[in-house]
Structure 1
Amino acid sequence: MRRGRSNVILFVGLQGAGKTTTIAKFASYYSKRSWKVSMVCADTFRAGALDQLKQNATKLRIPFYGSYTEADPVAIAQEGVDQFRKDKYEVIIVDTSGRHKQSEGLLDEMQEIAQAVQPDNTVFVMDATQGQAVYDQAMGFREAVDVGAVVVTKLDGHAKGGGALSAVAATQSPIIFLGSGEHFDDFETFNASSFVNKLLGYSDMRGVMEDLQTFHDPKKQGELLERVQKGGDFTLRDLYSQFTNMISMGGMGKMMGNMMPGIPEYLVPKDGNDEATLRLKRFCIMMDSMTAAELDGKVNLQAYKKDPNAASRIKRIARGSGSTPLEVQLLLQTHMQFSSMTKNMSKMGSMDKGKQAQLQQQMRKNPSLINQRLNQMDPQVLQQMGGRDAVMKLLQGGANGAEAQQAAMAAMMGGAGGGGGGGMGGMPGMPQLPPGMDMQKMMQMAQQMGLGGGGGGFPGGFPGAGAGGFPGMPPNMDSFR
């Protein structure tokens, strides 16, 4: 899709595949990214279709078009698209009646709608729980209309969608999104390596990095890392900016769950998204109670144990934000961890690929250098990678996959490792491939289907989202007496 013009997206799919809900998620996704979005309900077959779309559109504050009196879906689609084109909406989403290939009348209707609105793309919504059984249906849709993309839904159920890949192949179209829940935020862009990782039980750091990159100004992030690289500080004001961006993303619990294991419970509690977001908001309220000098690091609040002035300031911040001094201390400890990770990421980002390869070679030849780096790693991260012996073997060439070595290097430098579709089979503690499943063949099949390859790291990445995720809970917190 291109900005500055009207992009008409026609959604088609089987009955009960979750098409109308998917349309709302699709609209929410682009609306959050500042696209001018609208929806048209051309489903006159299912009772309550317009009511459902209207309810979703109202929640999302997105304009919609539909009719309770007009029975011709082609006329409704044409009128709605014409109106939104006139109003210069960038994304015009058209909902159609759910159908199957045996419904010849409905397939003819779908073709008429496509001819009337001339969509820029036709999206086929597919239910992952149907697996390979949807193959024939997908072929029927492909023959009826020009399917240009696929959205796979209901990935939050017991089925994980592996068998559905053959059905996607029938459309000869790429998967663009995955739906995994009822909420509007349960919607993510598709990447072949991330999808395979989830099938195998691995984490999806790449998907998280894409979300973070979308909601962060790349220029500002680059300036931040460059400033820190030149010896500048990662201030509380910088931390505030990161937290507010994370809050604006929504779906905090889901986002954290996609990160590597080891996320501390005080930032990602078991209660879910609302509680996780609330914690970050509490931190932001505390920073709202700080002075400009405190936010910009001109006053050393970290010296509260020895400096009575800093201790007094923390008490003032606690009173002003309705918090306790202990909670403000927790914020300061979190800031220290984020600051450390940012500095490590700036160091990693300043190394070109040649220097990184040279350092890898030095580490393979010099175990003492590896031990030196291992001593600097977060113990939780080290444990997640299989322990000290596993990482030693990995960096010395004992495990499969160049991407795995790069990930280990990034972890040791405190940065965000590359995604990649490489093997992780040589690392103890990592889940093994199910019997009969060949990772290389799966990735080749995905590429043949136009689903893309493995993703890389996160250049100029998000401070604090390094290999170990968020900073751990400080072991000892001192309260004021």
Structure 2
Amino acid sequence: MVLSDLGRRINSAVNDLTRSATLDEKAFDGMIKEISNALVEADVNIKLVSSLRKQIKTAVKFNELPAHVNKKRIIQKAVFDALVDIVNPHQTPYNPKKGKSNVIMFVGLQGAGKTTTCTKLARWYQARGFKTCLVCADTFRAGAFDQLKQNATKAKIPYYGSLTQTDPVVVARDGVEKFKKEKFEIIIVDTSGRHHQEEALFSEMQDIQAAVKPQQTVMVLDASIGQAAEAQSRAFKDAADFGAIIITKTDGAAAGGGAISAVAATHTPIVFIGTGEHLLDMEKFNPESFVSKLLGMGDMQGLVDHVQSLKLDQKETMKNITEGKFTVRDLRDQLQNIMKMGPLSKMAGMIPGLSGMMAGMDDDDASGKLKRMVYICDSMTLKELDSDGKIFVEQPTRMTRVARGSGTSVREVEELLTQQRTMAHMAKNMKGMAGNAQKAKAAMGGGNKQQQMAALQKKMQSMGGAGRGGMPDMSSLMNMMGGGGGGGMPDMSSLMNMMGGGGRGGGGMPDMSQMMNMFGGGGAPGGRR
């Protein structure tokens, strides 16, 4: 991941200082020097680095700190704020309006990933209820229209282009006019890749801009471009005056700091970052979340947005939970929902502490374990799936049949059923807790709903197992999955057990003891769903 090494080095420098037995000014200066070296090696502009050094020193004023203050916390906050300031241009990007046509024009260098990013952005807005479309005004690159057509077809997004018209200005104007008449709300115009020395291409870009009159011009910037990012972005800013930046290819291994420098150089906000080749591999950018994720502190808001965008169906499971039931089918549905969330390594950066714990772990191995559990469930009859699992205890030969049909072992089937019984027990307890909460509410004459929810969450934490190893307790992470309210920070130590085979059965099967919290069961039954 681009910048991951930078994040580790900065985090290590801060941690080494705050863990030091003697926290003096010499150690403080050493930390600043290590952070500065890490930023320079990541291609962050030297002037930015110098500014960051001054900002941290000004914020901390080490010699003036009173003896009783928490120096470690002040230093950590100063570093965090200084890094946020680098990527925060304090400019608000254009916010598309529903019910009107919003034209968004893409510009950038050749090979930056504009065409793919156009489709990703169209898909992102489409998922949020906008009527979106794509216009291919790249008549220079062979295969550009075919690529956009293929991407748009895959994402089920209307598109416009021409294999015969060679003037990109005409194609762009005709496409935008066509989609405006058809009341499209997001009209994304893809243009040819350019280089700042090619004056003819820059003139063409300005002509397209004049023809389509975009509400927003977006520059697509390759994260691996290095020190050239600043000069290129300035040239594009002067020619097209773009109002937003999308950084692509952040899943690569390059330094990536040059793209950050471009933000400061042009005072332009980053709106999205591309995290992979898939159409869903794009995240909305937030300076605080970005730095938090960079330093291994997680990005809970990003995790919430990602899971909510999946629109997972939880109605039947939530209905069963409110009735105090949790069937084998419910367990299978939750397993499938976890798999829909995407690679666990992608989620790891969003969850405090998990990125370090996942170091060296294989997504394929983790996914394989989940799939084996689903295979076991898929080998069951409808009667077995909708049961509470006792049917297998009464008729053990059923386990042998399911194991043979799923290509697993009887032991694995037993372990899955153990997990299901744990979840069922939790569901039963939750029903009783909900009843008690209703009685308490009646006795209080309505009571305070927040207090009731807090008490219920506290009880759920004690049932599901509090966070281990110093990780935060994630009492209702996936209340968001069920649409519920939500409280504390997630405890992901169980998820690591789930991936790493540290489950209760001990045979490499996932530990499901906290799935309820993760997928809607942590909230109050009968609450908003």
TM-score normalized by the length of structure 1:
0.63
The answer on whether the counterparts of 2:105 and 2:217 sit within 8 Å (CA) in structure 1 is: yes
Letter in structure 2 aligned against 1:314: M
Letter in structure 1 aligned against 2:334: Q
Find the counterpart in structure 2 of residue 232 from structure 1. Answer: 324
Q: Aligned partners of 1:477 and 1:303: how far apart in 2?
A: 23
Find the counterpart in structure 1 of residue 23 from structure 2. Answer: none
Letter in structure 1 aligned against 2:287: A
Letter in structure 2 aligned against 1:255: M
The answer on whether the counterparts of 1:8 and 1:91 sit within 8 Å (CA) in structure 2 is: yes
Letter in structure 1 aligned against 2:166: A
Q: Which moved more, 1:243-252 or 1:63-72?
A: 243-252
How far off is 1:147 after superposition?
2.7
Find the counterpart in structure 1 of residue 177 from structure 2. Answer: 82
Pairing 1:56–2:151 present: yes
Find the counterpart in structure 2 of residue 174 from structure 1. Answer: 269
The answer on whether the counterparts of 1:124 and 1:150 sit within 8 Å (CA) in structure 2 is: yes
Pairing 1:325–2:415 present: no
Instruction: Give the fraction of aligned pairs with identical amino acids, expressed as a percent.
Output: 45
For the structure 1 residues 462 and 182, does the alpha-carbon distance in structure 2 shift closer, same or farther, using more than 3 Å as the test? Answer: farther
Q: Aligned partners of 2:504 and 2:290: how far apart in 1?
A: 36
Q: How does 1:68-467 map to 2 (within 5 A)?
A: 68-131=163-226, 133-159=228-254, 161-216=256-311, 220=314, 228=321, 232-251=324-343, 253-255=345-347, 258-259=350-351, 272=363, 279-290=369-380, 294-296=384-386, 299-301=387-389, 304=392, 307-309=393-395, 311-318=396-403, 321=406, 323-335=408-420, 377=465, 381-383=467-469, 385=471, 408=472, 410-411=473-474, 414-416=475-477, 460=485, 466-467=491-492
Q: Aligned partners of 1:41 and 1:61: how far apart in 2?
A: 16
For the structure 1 residues 295 and 82, does the alpha-carbon distance in structure 2 shift closer, same or farther, using more than 3 Å as the test? Answer: farther
Q: Aligned partners of 1:54 and 1:179: how far apart in 2?
A: 20
The answer on whether the counterparts of 2:173 and 2:212 sit within 8 Å (CA) in structure 1 is: yes
TM-score normalized by the length of structure 2:
0.58
Q: Aligned partners of 2:335 and 2:120: how far apart in 1?
A: 24
Letter in structure 2 aligned against 1:468: S
Q: Aligned partners of 1:171 and 1:287: how far apart in 2?
A: 55
> What secondary structure, in the 3-state scheme, does the structure 2 residue paired with 1:38 have?
strand
How far off is 1:153 after superposition?
1.5
The answer on whether the counterparts of 1:153 and 1:180 sit within 8 Å (CA) in structure 2 is: yes
For the structure 1 residues 259 and 314, does the alpha-carbon distance in structure 2 shift closer, same or farther, using more than 3 Å as the test? Answer: farther
For the structure 1 residues 152 and 231, does the alpha-carbon distance in structure 2 shift closer, same or farther, using more than 3 Å as the test? Answer: same
Letter in structure 2 aligned against 1:182: E
For the structure 1 residues 308 and 181, does the alpha-carbon distance in structure 2 shift closer, same or farther, using more than 3 Å as the test? Answer: same
> What secondary structure, in the 3-state scheme, does the structure 1 residue paired with 2:252 have?
coil
Letter in structure 2 aligned against 1:103: E
How far off is 1:174 after superposition?
2.8
How far off is 1:13 after superposition?
1.5
The answer on whether the counterparts of 1:341 and 1:466 sit within 8 Å (CA) in structure 2 is: no
How far off is 1:345 after superposition?
11
The answer on whether the counterparts of 2:223 and 2:247 sit within 8 Å (CA) in structure 1 is: yes
Letter in structure 2 aligned against 1:382: R
For the structure 1 residues 345 and 162, does the alpha-carbon distance in structure 2 shift closer, same or farther, using more than 3 Å as the test? Answer: farther
Find the counterpart in structure 2 of residue 45 from structure 1. Answer: 140
Q: Deviation digits for residues 10-56 of structure 1, max 9, x if unmatched?
A: 11123332222322333444456675543222112334433433443
For the structure 1 residues 135 and 478, does the alpha-carbon distance in structure 2 shift closer, same or farther, using more than 3 Å as the test? Answer: closer
For the structure 1 residues 119 and 345, does the alpha-carbon distance in structure 2 shift closer, same or farther, using more than 3 Å as the test? Answer: farther
The answer on whether the counterparts of 1:131 and 1:167 sit within 8 Å (CA) in structure 2 is: no
Find the counterpart in structure 2 of residue 468 from structure 1. Answer: 493
Q: Deviation digits for residues 443-466 of structure 1, max 9, x if unmatched?
A: xxxxxxxxxxxxxxx964699974
Letter in structure 2 aligned against 1:332: L
Find the counterpart in structure 2 of residue 453 from structure 1. Answer: none
How far off is 1:75 after superposition?
0.8
How far off is 1:126 after superposition?
1.6
Q: What is the RMSD of the two structures over their aligned residues, measured on CA atoms?
A: 4.8
Find the counterpart in structure 1 of residue 110 from structure 2. Answer: 15
Find the counterpart in structure 2 of residue 441 from structure 1. Answer: none
How far off is 1:59 after superposition?
4.5
How far off is 1:339 after superposition?
6.5
How many positions carry a matched residue from both structures? 390
Q: Deviation digits for residues 366-423 of structure 1, max 9, x if unmatched?
A: xxxxxxx899846xx52254xxxxxxxxxxxxxxxxxxxxxx3x34xx44499xxxxx
Q: Aligned partners of 1:14 and 1:95: how far apart in 2?
A: 12
Q: Aligned partners of 1:202 and 1:188: how far apart in 2?
A: 17
Q: Aligned partners of 1:374 and 1:188: how far apart in 2?
A: 34
For the structure 1 residues 241 and 113, does the alpha-carbon distance in structure 2 shift closer, same or farther, using more than 3 Å as the test? Answer: farther
How far off is 1:175 after superposition?
1.9
The answer on whether the counterparts of 2:328 and 2:389 sit within 8 Å (CA) in structure 1 is: no
> What secondary structure, in the 3-state scheme, does the structure 2 residue paired with 1:156 have?
coil
Letter in structure 1 aligned against 2:260: L
The answer on whether the counterparts of 1:25 and 1:184 sit within 8 Å (CA) in structure 2 is: yes
Which stretches in structure 2 are left out of the alignment for 5+ residues? 1-95, 438-447, 509-529
The answer on whether the counterparts of 1:269 and 1:276 sit within 8 Å (CA) in structure 2 is: no
The answer on whether the counterparts of 1:132 and 1:167 sit within 8 Å (CA) in structure 2 is: no
Letter in structure 1 aligned against 2:413: V
The answer on whether the counterparts of 2:127 and 2:309 sit within 8 Å (CA) in structure 1 is: no
Q: Aligned partners of 1:478 and 1:32: how far apart in 2?
A: 40
Q: Which moved more, 1:164-173 or 1:284-293?
A: 284-293
Task: Determine which structure has more spread, i.e. the larger CA radius of gyration.
Answer: 2
> What secondary structure, in the 3-state scheme, does the structure 2 residue paired with 1:8 have?
strand
The answer on whether the counterparts of 1:341 and 1:463 sit within 8 Å (CA) in structure 2 is: no
Q: Aligned partners of 1:321 and 1:51: how far apart in 2?
A: 42
